[in-house]
């Protein structure tokens, strides 16, 4: 699998390697969100979202992860507007 996007420069990774990396970013973002580190959470959710979008055509599970990342980013935006 070849991935090209602004944030990442990863070439010839397998789907499972990309999935592992995306899921790691997602878990870290979720932890940052729970600990109220919104800037870190936003950055990690955005990076995970980019990878999950690449994988979304592979399965519905990845598409659900895309949706969940987008929802979390909306929550972060709403929280930042409250302050």
Answer left, alpha or beta for residue 36, where phi above 0 means left and psi between -120 and 50 means alpha: left
In this prediction, residue 5 has a pLDDT band, given cuts at 50, 70 and 90, of low
pTM across the whole model: 0.83
Parent domain of 10: 3-82
- What was the pLDDT predicted at 14? 80
Distance CA 32, CA 12 (A): 30
- Count structural domains, the chain: 1
CA 19 distance to own-chain centroid = 10
Whole-angstrom CA distances from 37 to 42, 53, 57, 69, 71 are 9, 24, 31, 16, 17
The mean pLDDT of 8-36, rounded to a whole number, is 86
């Amino acid at each position: 699998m070849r991935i090209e996007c602004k944030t990442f420069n990863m070439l010839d990774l397998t789907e499972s390697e990309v999935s592992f990396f995306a899921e790691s970013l997602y878990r870290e973002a979720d932890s940052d969100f729970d600990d109220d580190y919104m800037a870190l959470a936003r950055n990690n959710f955005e990076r995970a979202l980019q990878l999950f979008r690449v994988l979304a055509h592979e399965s519905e599970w990845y598409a659900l992860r895309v949706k969940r990342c987008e929802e979390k980013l909306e929550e972060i935006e709403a929280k930042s507007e409250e302050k």
